[in-house]
């Protein structure tokens, strides 16, 4: 059984993330979505809230589970026997840093990274932009699942 991890902050999960997770689930026997807990980074949603949003949004995908992690991604992979990291590439601007991380993770633990090209539909999409647009009252429906939209509106105190 070959399993993969889709790591990220998911603050919050977007349809761009879900597209990559769904496609990873078709390539691998099992996929773990790993939510990074980074105490140095101020997040809008707690790790538990992010896990709960992801669990609801991936409920219809078989073989997908959600976990929280802290520390090195390769340690998370090693502890669970996960062979591959799946990352979406939105544009060439993602590539430099993603390549660097992929090479480091391969060097550290022999964990390989599989890059999946983001669907053109979502190539502009980032959680940070969703939060910025929503925070200024912009319409982000259609970019995140309805339940995430509701939680964004509540957290940002929007009507
Ligand atoms: O959604 P993000 O914030 O772009 O995801 C970045 C993430 C979580 C994939 C990356 O920061 C990561 O893997 N962090 C874990 C710490 C780690 O392993 N660092 C070394 C990377 S070579």
Residue (of 53, 28, 32) closest to 43 by Cα position: 53
Output the pTM of the full model. Answer: 0.97
In angstroms, what CA-CA distances link 36 with 69, 76, 137? 5, 11, 27
Backbone angles phi, psi at 156, to 5 degrees: -90, 5
Tokens of 88: 């979406």
Output the residue whose Cα is nearest ligand 1's atom 4.
8
Given a contact cutoff of 8 angstroms between Cβ atoms, the answer to whether 151 and 123 are in contact is no
Residue (of 19, 147, 26, 129) closest to 139 by Cα position: 129
What's the CA-to-centroid distance between 4 and ligand 1, angstroms? 15
C-alpha angle 73/57/116, rounded to 5°? 50
Model confidence at 157, pLDDT cuts 50, 70, 90, reads confident
Q: What string of DSSP letters covers 17-51? A: HHHHHHHHHHHSSEEEEEEE--TTS--SS-HHHHH
Mutate to test the pocket of ligand 1, among 38, 73, 111, 118 (most ligand atoms within 8 A of CB): 73
pLDDT for res 125: 98
Given a contact cutoff of 8 angstroms between Cβ atoms, the answer to whether 47 and 32 are in contact is no
- Give 23-72 pLDDT, tens digit per residue: 999 999 999 999 999 989 899 999 999 999 999 999 999 999 999 999 99
Is the distance from the beta carbon of residue 104 to the nearest atom of ligand 1 less than 6 Å? yes
- Give 10-26 pLDDT, tens digit per residue: 999 999 999 999 999 99
Q: From CA 35, how far away is CA 20, in angstroms rounded?
A: 15
What's the CA-to-centroid distance between 15 and ligand 1, angstroms? 20
**pLDDT at residue 158 above 80?**
no
pLDDT for res 140: 97
- Give 92-103 pLDDT, tens digit per residue: 999 999 999 999
- Give 81-138 pLDDT, tens digit per residue: 999 999 999 999 999 999 999 999 999 999 999 999 999 999 999 999 999 999 999 9
Kindly state the average pLDDT of the residues 148-156.
96
Given a contact cutoff of 8 angstroms between Cβ atoms, the answer to whether 31 and 64 are in contact is yes
Give the CA diameter of the chain. Answer: 49
Which residues participate in catalysis according to the annotation?
Answer: 17, 41, 90, 127
In angstroms, what CA-CA distances link 126 with 10, 88, 104, 122, 129? 9, 11, 24, 9, 5
């Amino acid at each position: 059984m070959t399993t993969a991890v889709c790591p990220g902050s998911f603050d919050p999960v977007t349809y761009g993330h879900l597209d990559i997770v769904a496609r990873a689930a078709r390539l691998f026997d099992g996929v773990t979505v790993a939510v990074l807990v980074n105490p140095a980074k101020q997040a809008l949603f707690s790790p538990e809230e992010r896990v709960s949003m992801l669990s609801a949004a991936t409920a219809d995908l078989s073989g997908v589970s959600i976990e929280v992690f802290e520390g090195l991604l390769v340690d998370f992979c090693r502890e669970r026997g996960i062979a591959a990291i799946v990352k979406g590439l939105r544009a060439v601007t993602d590539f430099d840093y993603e390549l660097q991380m992929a090479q480091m993770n391969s060097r550290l633990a022999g964990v390989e990274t599989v890059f999946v090209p983001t669907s053109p539909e979502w190539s502009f999409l980032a959680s940070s932009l969703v939060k910025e647009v929503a925070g200024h009252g912009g319409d982000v429906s259609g970019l995140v699942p309805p339940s995430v939209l509701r939680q964004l509106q509540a957290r940002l105190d929007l009507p």
